[in-house]
Structure 1
């Protein structure tokens, strides 16, 4: 928008970690792939075909596509399952922490993202590899837009 002071590629080039928080149909080509080479790339996007309708990706996870479009990036699916209004207040609310999920194929990258989730006041819960764990989190998946406490999320993941 009008308040952007630099191109996203310039900002991403200086970052150690990049979070994609744009509409899914704008992800491909947003950044030159070399800009995120060897960086943690958090896919916080959701693929929709229309309002409230998950996109048909032919059985692929949206994060599988992100990883394909940005080869060499260390993609972690996270920060996408909670409605923004819940996200804005839940990390500072009292009581048991709500879960935010991570899925990825690089353990160190998931640890980094889990640390950020903890710092935001949420409980990080690992859903596994990028493909299978990412599908659990994307629209239409069983964890999408379900605010679960840490205990509820861990119980769900364990069975």
Structure 2
């Protein structure tokens, strides 16, 4: 089944490029509508289809790749009352323009707050620790495969995203539940963001 991506900024485009290169079908959307994504689709080929936010959210796996301050707006635009066991991949970090101040999280991880927004979903935190240029590069290198960290409260969802990452070429490392693993991944505050690690073959 296609992968839905909500957000066509640097992270959304990097992931779309890697998924399409691995033979996955991607349905991508942004706040400006499908027409604004025609050029991107033309450059990536038939594996990428521009769509509405609602259409991206209809897929079984949905990637949230929007700035933190626009997250609620993006979820509202998806208009999904119950995410019904979809796997939602949270790539966000709790800060952003214009001031880049860290959001107040009340002692929780950012992904626990995101999980509250997508009721019924199985949320997996992933793809948030690398810069877009590194994330969009070929994950297979002569020295090994680039490491992707993930965490989530549903073991089956974690395993499925780990398998997806493996098909693309990344080496997935499952950090466990959001309360612990998500804290390690979180930026700012966690020790893992910006670490560009390789796993030997």
After TM superposition, the score normalised by the length of structure 2 is 0.68
Between Structure 1 and Structure 2, how many residues are aligned?
150
RMSD of the TM alignment (CA)?
A: 2.0
Question: 1:80 and 1:90 mapped to 2: Cα distance?
Answer: 17
* Match of residue 11, structure 1, among 53, 56, 60: 56
Structure 1 CA distance for aligned equivalents of residues 100 and 67 of structure 2? 13
- Residue 80 of structure 1 is matched in structure 2 by 128
- Residue ranges of structure 2 left out of the alignment (5+ in a row): 1-31, 38-49
Q: CA deviation at 1:150?
A: 3.2
Whether contact under 8 Å (2:125, 2:178) holds in the other structure is yes
* Distance in structure 2 (CA, Å) of the matches to 1:139 and 1:81: 8
The residue number in structure 1 matching 2:192 is 143
Is the Cα–Cα contact under 8 Å of residues 67 and 96 in structure 2 kept in the other structure? no
Any gaps of 5 or more consecutive residues in structure 1?
152-159
Instruction: Indicate which of 94, 97, 118 corresponds to 2:145.
Output: 97
Q: Report what 2:13 is aligned to.
A: none
Contact preservation (8 Å) 2:90, 2:125: yes
Cα displacement string for residues 23-79 of structure 1 (whole angstroms, at most 9, x for unaligned residues): 112222422343632100000111115566433322211110111111110000001
Counterpart-to-counterpart distance in 1, 2:102 and 2:187:
5
Question: Partner residue of 2:70?
Answer: 26
Residue deviations 1:67-115, cap 9 Å, x none?
1111110000001111111112141322121210110111110011101
- 1:62 corresponds to: 110
Q: Distance in 1 between matches of 2:140 and 2:171?
A: 12
Runs of 4+ in 1 over 6 A off after TM superposition: none
Q: Aligned to 1:19, what secondary structure does the other structure show?
A: strand
